[in-house]
Structures are given as structure tokens and as C-alpha cells.
Structure 1
Amino acid sequence: MKSIVIAGALAAILGTASSRPLNFRRDYITEIVYVTETLADAVIYVDQDGVPYSTSTVEQSTTATSVEVVTTSEVTPTVTPAVSISAAPVVVPPSAAPAPPASSATVPSFSFVAPQPQPSSAEVKNESTTTAAVESSYTPPPPPPSPTTPALAPESSSPPPAPPSTAAAPTSSQAPQADKQNDNGLPNGVTYDPFTGSEGNTRCKTDTEVADEFSRMGSYKVVRIYGMGCNIIPLAVQNAQKNGQMLMGGAYLSNKGNGEDLSIVITTWKSTIDQYAGGSWDIMKLFSVENERVNDRDMTASEVVDAIRRGRDQLRGVGYNGPVGAVDTVPATLDNPSICQASDVVMVNCHPFFDQNTAAEDAGTFVKGQIERVKTACNTNRVVVTETGWPHQGDANGKAVPSPDNQAKALSSIRSEFTSDVFIHNSFDSPWKSDWASSFNAERYWGVIQ
């Protein structure tokens, strides 16, 4: 009670001083108050990521002494008193804090490695049950200037509405559950990028080069492209039609400043389909809004889920009714089941070369085992392997040795396990990429067509 009275008196005095000047002198003497209280301190334990997982309390007696003596003072109109209140923290001695329970924190079975400066197909596997993701398999540089490449508009935080269409579109952005149970897979395909040149001197492939390479990919009935750089969407549609091929489309989203605008990618697909395919979307069988962005810590799972829903709604609005989802690595997918749930079909990249215990002839067995894990975690019976393969040159990674002979063995092993829903990475070598230790100096040499 005394403390309350004193606090009230002080507040009244200070309040008066702050509202109008005092021109008289008075003596104020406060009482000395000793208060002893028993406090319960909260101790919060967090894991290595700063996420709280346990709390406890420790009782501690604290004696506070408040001594305030105000002597004769004079307040003039030009002086504005300042009041500062601070509380000293109570420190719990180490001996008083209980050790956190050993079973309270969940330790992940793999760790992420910060992305390297250049794209990589590295996805390190130490064992068939423990997987550590490293770097994206495809990070295109900003497309070099090209007379056939339309200028990209600046990235927009709120995408413009999709172009109008007479096609009926579902009102819900949720993934149709029936699609997840569809076992009708695609013929095995191959991945393709439109960049060439050398490290530091990257350029777009010419229209003639793209046409020639699509012709050389003729034995693959589905070709995966990753974005819209280098005018690849209209070039891919025209050449795939000529060769009787289908396409997997995608957008290259990124928070690092070199990403594409999802709405512009979809608008480009719409105009291309109208111009070269008579408005029929039959040529495109899958669409992914990103590639390994969660694995690379470039995007969060919630950002990817939002992109899937936005992309699906916009694609439905322009007439495409096929599966829409996102591509990430096996470990990133296992750790973020929300991506599975938001996708019409689950899509993952899985590279046996980055498991040091897997030899080339066992590549198919390894991929099969990883895909079974994804099926269980995502509660689905269909998973599309959007990248897998083996390099023909580079450094050894334990039992995984790159060579032309081992590449042939690995591809044979993969094909023996999968007759559909697999994309071999990559169609041609990528001399424009760079290498580093974690890629085992093999990043340029994943091409399967020589």
C-alpha cells in the first residue's frame, strides 16, 4: 500500500511538471521501503534454429530496496523533467536451471548447405535413409539479350489477373485429390535448357540450335523446360509439335533477384498456345512453379504453396487443366509435406550420384527407395521424378564414380526400375555452368546425348 501511495504521489508531481511550469519551491521527502518477494523465473529452452521446445520455472527470492530523497528543488518553465524506468534482469545461476530433456528436441536427419554461387545438380546422399540436400540442379542466369527474347516486366509482388478465357475454371485452388491417385504415368523424358557458351560468357542458343537439339532428343517423348528465358516457350512448343513430343513447363521463381514473374510466364504460355497450338493445351502435361527453391533456402514452403495455388488458378483461367505443383529435392519434400498436399502431383529431383555409397549399377535401386519414402510421406501412389541421372566426367564420390561407362550403367539401372514418370537429367552438357568441390567437378557433364 505504501508503495502505491508513493508511486501515486510521484506520478502526480511529475505529471504536473510535464503539463505546466512550477514557480515555487518545496521540500519532498519519500519513505524508504523494503520489499521482499518470491519470483518465479521462466526458463525457455530453444533448439539450434531458435525454436522454443521446453519451459520451466525457478523460484528465487529477491530483495528490492527503494531509497528516494528529494531535496529542495525549483522547476522553471524551460525545464522538462524526463522519467526513466529500468528493470534489472534476474539471472538464474547455471546450477539452478535444469538441463533440457534429451527427448524434447527433434534433430533432423539431414542438414542444408548454403547455396553455391552457380547452379548444381548436387543432392548429397550419405545413406539410403539419410539425405542431405545441397544445391539446385538448375539456376539459369539472367537471359542474355536476344532479338527473339521478349523483355521481362519487373517482378510484381501482386501478379496481374490472368487473361480472360472462355474455358471453365474450377473456383477452388485446392489440389484435386483424384489426381494424386492417378497411376497413368508419362513416358520417360529428358530435361533441357536453352543456354550455352562458357562460364562467364553465357548466351542463348539460337533458334537453329534449339531446333537441332529437339530433333536429337526425338527418342524422348517428354521434354522438361524450366522457365521462359531465351524465348524457350514458343521455341519448345513449335519443335515439340514437329517431333511429336510433349512438354513439362515451369516458372523459375526466386527471391534472389533473378527470378521470373509467374503471371508473365503463364501469359507467355497462353499466347504461345494460341499462336502455335490452336489454343489446345494438350502438348503440356505438367507445370511446376519452382525448382529446388526450398532446398536452397531461397523460398519457404508457405511461399511455394502460395505460388502453386496462384499458378493453378491462373492456368485454369487460361484453359490448362493438367497437374500443377512444385519440384524440390527428396529431403526438402519429406520435410515439407504441405508442398505435397498443395500439388496435383508430387514431383521431386533425385540424384543417386550424390550418395557416396551408391555405385552406378545400383542407381535405379537407390532412386526407387527414395521415391517409396516420398510416396509414404506424401500419402500418394504417384511421384514424378523430374530429374535423375549420372555424370560422365568429374571426381569420384565414394562408390559413385563419373565416367561414360558408369553413366550408361546408371541410366540402364534407372530405366529398369522406372518405365514412366522419370526425366533424365540432362539432355546435353552445360559448359556455361561452373564447378566446385560439392559438385565433384561434374556439374558441366550430365549430358546424355553426345
Structure 2
Amino acid sequence: MRFGFALTLALLWNGAAAQFPGHRHGQNHRPRFFWPGGDNGRTVTLADNAATTETQVPGVVVYVDEEGSATRTTTELFKVVPSAKLQPTPAGGPFGNRPPFFGPVFGPPIVPAPAPPLPPPSPPQPTKTISSQSPPSSPIPKINPGPTAGNGGTKDSNSTTNPVTGVTYSPYNADGTCRSASDVYADFQQLAAQQAPPYTVVRIYGVDCDQVAAVLPAARAIGVKMFLGIFNLDGLDEQVATLVRAVQASEGGWGLVDTISVGNELINNGQATPRQVVDAVAAARASLRSAGYQGPVVTVDTFLAVERFPVLCDASDYCAINVHPFFDGNTAAGQAGQFVLRKVADVREVLLDSGKKVVVTESGWPWQGNTNGLAVPGRQNQKLAVQSIVDVYGASNPDGLILFTAFDDGWKKAEAGTFYAEQFWGMYL
């Protein structure tokens, strides 16, 4: 082999930010490029033009800090494959014309340059405004709310144990336009009709489309709380102000809000540095407190991003992570719950406070798309995976799991890098 396996892995605390086009508010699920290829997260795939067969060999990884100084050395397993056998990725690669955000870098230690200002937001502007039509006059029968992801709570003595807390929801039509207030209300009716499980929290990601104002009446009608979100760091003050105005104008006010997140997978997607995210969480929390909100404020990222930068959870009122077994090629649908359980345990090991509350804010399985190793999309596999996640993880963490996602996201872009599955994670028609 023509490889020298003295490898330097630069942990890019101050690495350059990058904007990824074609998706709204960073909600898409790109493959997890941190140590791809293994359930233990420690198998690195490398391409060699001179290789003719696939080979696995041990190698040394040197971890360096932002100053370029070595912090620790480990031995990892490297899978060397002929370049021609690697699956093609979208133009420019899934991370644009730069190496994976936490991927291996050959050569001497890299000292990152200071992070540039964040790029302007990329979400397309909606072409339809929220309808002024009022919600139906007949309220939806309320479901008994159980404990919420952030605030805890007690259940009605006649209610059954909810094995899962919440579900994610995006108020966009397949063409990217905004769903009307009456459409949102109808969607929440459909969620209320779900008996397995009856949700107590619904998570959204942004403030565009007047979505905060649209979801709060619908949430109040069916007896759920909202996990609200700010999807990027540009115009943070304006986004917080938009959210505050919508909540204060709604009947129920802050009592309808379970949690507010600042950013979703910004580190995983290379859109901000940990320092920028931590500062944004602190700034948003201060503004929200002054507006009367006393609940949890968090940032959300993948479990792998948090393992490398636990400060994301240290700065949050609880640890909020997205865990998607589908993006691990060694996990079949029936083992999805065990995967989530293991990854939450891994995250706890790196936290300053190992007893800090951890909420899995996204976990699910696509029903259509390309196969990823042992991870196979399909309706049956989706049901199998979700049931496994609920039974294995949700049963022991009844206030710490939010499933992804309620309905398909036809507005998202189909890409090879996400196994052409990005649009097909919806659990309900």
C-alpha cells in the first residue's frame, strides 16, 4: 500500500463556516461524516488510486487543538478502498470544496484561521402568505398531556404511560410555500388522532411563514406544548423578537411553550463554530428571559458533534441531540432503538455533568430512498425502526424522545449524499 498512516485530525473549533444551498433551516439529514463506516464510530474509509482491493489496516490518529498542539493519540481502523469503488457524491462533495468538517486531514497539524462572519441565510422566501382564515370553531378533543421534554410535569391519573414525548413538524407545502393557518390546524388534528403514541410536544424549527402564530392555537386545541426553534444565527435578535411577539399575542402565551432551540445541526453542517453557537444561546436566553419566558433554551446538534464539542450541551439548559440510526450503515431497522440507547450513553460520558437531562430531539427512519448498508428504507422497516426506538429508548426515557417526522418533506432536495431519502421520513399520510 502507498499510505503512511500517521494521520492528523484537526478539530476545527474555529474552522471556517460554510453555507449549504438548497435546504430550509438546516433541517436536512446529511450523512454523518464523523468517522463514517461503523457503529462504534471508529472506522475511517480512505480512497487510494493505487489500490486494487479493499483492505483494512490499523493507523494512528493524532488529535490537535485549535492551537495545533497534540492532545492525544489513538489507534483506529482504516478501510482502504480503490477510488473507483467509492460512491459518487453531489457536485463539490457534501461539504462543498473542503474536507469533511471533522474528517481526517493528511499532513502536518492544521492551525485553523479565525472564523469568518456567518453567510447570509439561504432558505427560499415563501411565495404564499399565511391565510387569515380562522381555525375551525369546533375544537379537537384534547389528549391528556404527559411530561414534557423540558419542563417535566405530572400526568392525569387516568392517562396511560406515554412511551414517547413528541414529534417534529414542518409547516411547508411540497413546493416550498407556507401552509396556511387552517392547513396547520388540520395537520394538528391528524396528530391528535394518533393513539400510538399520543404526543405531548410538537417540535418546529423556525419563525418564517408566521409558523409560531399558526401552530400555537392548533397546539392549544389538542393539549400539546410547542418546542419552538430559531434555525440559524443570522438576524438572531429579529428572529427572537418575531417569536416573542407571536407567543405574547397568542391565547395561552408562554404556557404553551416547552422549549426553545437556537440552531439545528449548525456544527454538523459546518454553518457555525461552537463559540458562535454558545454565544447565540446565551444571547437568546437573555432576551427570552426579559420577555417573560422561563423555560429551557438549548441548541440542537447531532450526537457526534456533541461528543466532540460537549460545550454545546454545557451551554444548554438540557442536552438536545439528534440521533438517526439510518445514517449508520451497520444498523438495521430492528436495532434502531439499541443504537439510540448507545449513542445517548456515549454523549453522557463527555458531559461535564453526566447526570444532565438528555433529550433525543430527532430520531426516525425513512420509508423510501436508497439502501445504506444494513439500513434499508421502506414502510415496514420504518414501522419496525420507530417501534424499536420507542420500545428500547423511549420506554425508559418517556420525557426525552421526539420522533422525526410527522409528514413527508416534499420541499427538500433529493441528493445522493442523503440516499435520496430526504423527503420521505413522514410517518403519516
- Mark yes or no: TM-score above 0.5: yes
* Pair 1:297-2:279 in alignment: no
Counterpart CA distance in 2 for 1:231 and 1:392 is: 29
**Alpha-carbon offset, residue 436 of structure 1:** 1.4
2:125 aligns with one of 132, 139, 143: 143
Give deviations 1:10-39, integer Å, cap 9, x for gaps: xxxxxxxxxxxxxxxxxxxxxxxxxxxxxx
Whole-Å separation in 2 of the counterparts to 1:149 and 1:266:
23
CA contact (8 A) 2:367 2:381 kept: yes
State the match for 1:443 in structure 2: 422
Amino acid at match of 1:249: L
Matched residues in 1 for 2:413 and 2:29: separation?
11
Q: Is the 8 A contact 1:392 1:403 kept in 2?
A: yes
1:126 to 8, 21, 37: 37
Which amino acid in 2 is paired with 1:127? G
Amino acid at match of 1:346: C
For residues 101 and 350 of structure 1, do their structure 2 counterparts lie closer, same or farther at Cα, with a shift above 3 Å needed? closer
Q: Are the structure 2 counterparts of residues 182 and 194 from structure 1 closer, same or farther at C-alpha, using a change threshold of 3 Å?
A: closer
> Partner residue of 1:84?
none
- Secondary structure of 1:385 counterpart: strand
8 Å CA contact 2:21–2:122 kept in 1: the answer is no
CA distance in 2, matches of 1:360, 1:126: 17
Question: Where in structure 2 are the equivalents of 1:36-51 lying within 5 Å?
Answer: none
Do the aligned partners of residues 228 and 447 (structure 1) sit closer, same or farther apart at CA in structure 2, a change above 3 Å counting? Answer: same
Deviation at 1:413, TM superposition (A): 0.2
* Structure 2 counterpart SS, 1:446: coil
Identify if the C-alpha distance between structure 1 residues 367 and 325 changes in structure 2 by more than 3 Å, giving closer, same or farther.
same
CA contact (8 A) 1:143 1:204 kept: no
Task: Find the residue that maps to 1:269 and give its secondary structure.
Answer: helix
Which amino acid is the alignment partner of residue 435 of structure 1?
A: A
Separation in structure 1 between the aligned mates of residue 257 and residue 10 of structure 2, nearest angstrom: 40
Query: Gaps spanning 5+ residues in structure 1: where?
Result: 1-99, 151-179
User: Are residues 1:281 and 2:254 paired?
Assistant: yes
| Aligned 8 A contact 2:337 2:390 in 1 | yes
Matches of 2:296 and 2:203, distance apart in 1: 14
Gap change, CA 1:146 and 1:348, over 3 Å in 2:
same
Does 1:412 find its partner at 2:387?
yes
| In 1, Cα distance between equivalents of 2:258 and 2:200 | 11
* 1:146–1:181 distance in 2 versus 1, CA, 3 Å: closer
Report the equivalent of 1:430: 409
SS in 2 for 1:126: coil
Aligned amino acid, residue 118 of structure 1: G
- Larger displacement relative to structure 2 (431-440 or 350-359): 431-440
Tell me what 2:216 maps to: 237
Would the alpha carbon gap of residues 415 and 306 (structure 1) be closer, same or farther in structure 2, given more than 3 Å must change?
Answer: same
Residue number in structure 2 paired with 1:207:
181
Quote the offset at 1:296 in angstroms: 1.1
Alignment of 1:145-184 (within 5 A): 145-148=127-130
Residue 194 of structure 1: aligned partner: 171
Aligned residue in 2 for 1:393 = 368
1:217-232 paired onto structure 2 within 5 Å: 217-218=191-192, 219-232=198-211
User: Unmatched 5+ residue regions in structure 2?
Assistant: 45-93, 96-120, 133-148, 155-161, 193-197
Normalising by structure 2, report the TM-score: 0.65
Q: Check the 8 A contact 1:128/1:369 in 2, yes or no.
A: no
Comparing 182-191 with 320-329, which one deviates more in the overlay?
A: 182-191
- Which of residues 326, 340, 364 in structure 2 aligns to 1:367? 340
Amino acid at match of 1:396: T
Counterpart CA distance in 2 for 1:122 and 1:340 is: 21
Task: Report the residue type matching 1:130 in the other structure.
Answer: G
Instruction: Give a deviation string over 1:231-256, Cα, whole Å, max 9, x none.
Output: 100111111001111110110115xx
Whether the 8 Å CA contact 1:149–1:230 is kept in 2: the answer is no
Secondary structure at 2:173 match in 1: strand
Distance 1:113-1:368 versus aligned 2 partners, 3 A rule: farther
Equivalent residue letter for 1:220: Y
Cα separation, 2, equivalents of 1:308 and 1:437: 33
Deviations 1:52-86, CA, capped at 9 Å, x for gaps = xxxxxxxxxxxxxxxxxxxxxxxxxxxxxxxxxxx
- Larger RCO: Structure 1 or Structure 2 (Cα < 8 Å, ≥ 6 residues apart)? 2
Does 2:321 correspond to 1:333? no
Distance in 2 between residues matched to 1:328 and 1:430, nearest whole Å: 20
Do 2:165 and 2:402's aligned partners in 1 also have CA atoms closer than 8 Å? yes
- Over the matched positions of the two proteins, sequence identity in percent amounts to 33
| Distance in structure 1 (CA, Å) of the matches to 2:423 and 2:168 | 14
Counting only pairs closer than 5 Å after superposition, residues 36-75 of structure 1 correspond to structure 2 as: none
CA 1:368/1:142 → structure 2, altered by over 3 Å: closer, same or farther? same
- Asked if residue 269 in structure 1 is aligned to residue 240 in structure 2, the reply is no
- Tell me, yes or no, if the aligned pair for 2:225 and 2:256 is still in contact at 8 Å: yes
Q: 1:101 to 1:142 in 2, by over 3 A?
A: closer
The question of whether the paired residues in 1 share the 8 Å contact of 2:267 and 2:301 is answered with yes
- Where does residue 351 of structure 1 map in the other structure? 324
TM-score (norm 1): 0.62
Distance 2:313 2:261 in 1: 12
Shift of 1:114: 7.7
Residue in 1 aligned with 2:145?
Answer: none
CA distance in 2, matches of 1:371, 1:212: 34
Alignment counterpart, residue 247 of structure 1, candidates 206, 226, 229? 226
Q: Compare the two structures and name the one with the higher strand fraction.
A: 1
Structure 2 CA distance for aligned equivalents of residues 365 and 184 of structure 1: 27
Instruction: Report how far residue 331 of structure 1 moved.
Output: 1.2
Q: Which amino acid aligns with 1:233?
A: V
- Cα-to-partner distance string for 1:355-407 (whole Å, 9 max, x where unaligned): 11100000000011001111111133321111110000111111100000000
Residue 177 of structure 2: SS of its match in structure 1?
strand
Greater alpha carbon shift after TM alignment, 115-124 vs 231-240: 115-124
- The whole-number CA distance in structure 2 between the counterparts of 1:181 and 1:146 is 33
What corresponds to 1:36 in structure 2? Answer: none
Q: Residue type matched to 1:192 in 2? A: Y
Alignment length (residue pairs): 305
